[in-house]
């Protein structure tokens, strides 16, 4: 199966955890349509862990919990499809799921056929309780080949948390996307930690094998299954901008049935989504300047570039997407958030410069003398779409 761009959707885990049921799923599908999320490109409704009974049936098949899903999974799947959406489910490569329910180890073909019969379009496949004697790449190949032979196109989301050097072998398994990190929770500490290690996986991303930085926490506001301290509006905007620019799948984790206008405006920003869904899916890269290149008296002013990553990505129409992400607790200064056109292939001799449009505010700026510097508040970002133009 080919996914030409990173998948967009909603997943139950961050908010509901074990408290998932068919009413929540169906109401969330309704909300995807009513709020315009579907029209913005979000298409998957994914049920995470805790949807099933603790034992398989007499034929060795997984059984939905009849209290949570009294009409069965095909009924829920049909309802999701009737809304013009796609239906996703969860299993695990081990003996048990992360919450202790039956998983798919040694049942891969049976489970793949079951998911196909239920109309599943997406499978999140976790990595808990797996046998140490079998390498991860084999475990994911086992489910990948089962899905490829189940008679239905099912997107395969490999959730191995980046363990066992996932990045080195994941493309050979046939997975459509793969987790690069451990789980996120709704706090600035978690968001920052995941953001700082994201760069390690950038070079391994590719069309149809997308690095997944975990589900979105935008709009959780400290509520739900992984809700802790919550984040500020600036932090949620940074989160969404960074995930989008780095090409991560965007799977909403808040309760969209009660999301506020601010959350909706973040999740449906067309300019940000266009960057994430750019068809070329070129690799993003860092363009930070290095302290050693600055005059001595300015070196002390520069904050750690490790906490203020600046990423760029060439887009299919010749524009650049450029993001400055201030993960530090101090505002940026003139040297800690500077963009040099030369690092984007535009030396002064080219006769070209950049017109930068802030995708959140719409503000436009033309770069002068091959340099652009921005003031960015702590825990905030500046995401821009840059058009190559002749120098004025």
Catalogue the active-site residues. 126, 183
Count of Cβ atoms closer than 10 Å to residue 100 Cβ: 13
Vertex 82 angle, CA 32 and 10, to 5° = 30
Rounded to whole angstroms, the Cα distance separating 322 from 333 reads 18
Specify whether the CB–CB gap between 370 and 342 falls below 8 A.
yes
Residue in the structure block whose two tokens are 């080949």: 145
Rounded to whole angstroms, the Cα distance separating 54 from 32 reads 31
Rounded to whole angstroms, the Cα distance separating 79 from 77 reads 5
DSSP 292: G
Specify whether the CB–CB gap between 346 and 370 falls below 8 A.
yes
Count of Cβ atoms closer than 10 Å to residue 117 Cβ: 15
Six token digits for residue 194: 């995941």
CA 224 → CA 27, 35, 302, distances in Å? 17, 21, 38
N-to-C CA span, the chain: 47
DSSP 200: G
Specify whether the CB–CB gap between 136 and 166 falls below 8 A.
yes
């Amino acid at each position: 199966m080919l996914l030409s761009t990173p998948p967009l959707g909603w997943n139950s885990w961050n908010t509901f955890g074990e408290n998932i049921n068919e009413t929540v799923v169906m109401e969330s599908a309704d909300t995807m349509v009513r709020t315009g999320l579907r029209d913005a490109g979000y298409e998957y409704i994914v049920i995470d862990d805790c949807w099933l009974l603790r034992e398989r049936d007499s034929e060795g098949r997984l059984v939905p919990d009849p209290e949570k899903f009294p009409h069965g999974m095909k009924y829920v799947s049909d309802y999701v499809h009737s809304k013009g959406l796609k239906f996703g489910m969860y299993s695990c490569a081990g003996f048990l799921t992360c919450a202790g329910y039956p998983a798919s180890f040694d049942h891969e073909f049976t489970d793949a056929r079951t998911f196909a019969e239920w109309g599943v379009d997406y499978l999140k496949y976790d990595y808990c309780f797996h046998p140490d004697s079998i390498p991860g790449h084999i475990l994911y190949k086992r489910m990948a080949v089962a899905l490829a032979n189940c008679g239905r196109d099912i997107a395969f989301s490999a959730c191995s948390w980046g363990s066992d050097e996932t990045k080195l072998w994941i493309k050979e398994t046939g997975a459509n996307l793969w987790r690069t990190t451990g789980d996120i929770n709704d706090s600035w500490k978690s968001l920052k930690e995941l953001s700082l290690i994201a760069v390690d996986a950038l070079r391994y991303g590719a069309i149809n094998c997308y690095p997944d930085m975990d589900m979105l926490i935008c709009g959780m506001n400290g509520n739900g299954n992984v809700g802790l301290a919550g984040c500020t509006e600036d932090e949620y905007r940074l989160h969404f901008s960074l995930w989008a620019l780095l090409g991560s799948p965007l799977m909403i984790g808040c309760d969209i049935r009660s999301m506020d206008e601010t959350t909706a405006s973040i999740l449906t920003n067309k300019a940000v989504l266009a960057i994430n869904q750019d068809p070329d899916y070129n690799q993003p890269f860092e363009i930070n300047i290095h302290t050693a290149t600055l005059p001595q008296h300015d070196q002390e002013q520069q904050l750690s570039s490790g906490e203020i990553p600046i990423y760029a990505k060439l887009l299919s129409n010749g524009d650049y997407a450029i993001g400055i992400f201030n993960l530090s607790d101090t505002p940026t200064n003139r040297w800690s958030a500077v963009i040099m056109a030369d690092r984007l292939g535009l030396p002064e001799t080219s006769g070209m410069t950049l017109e930068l449009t802030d995708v959140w505010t719409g503000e436009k700026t033309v770069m002068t003398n091959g340099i652009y510097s921005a003031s960015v508040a702590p825990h905030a970002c500046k995401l821009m779409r840059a058009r190559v133009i002749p120098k004025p």
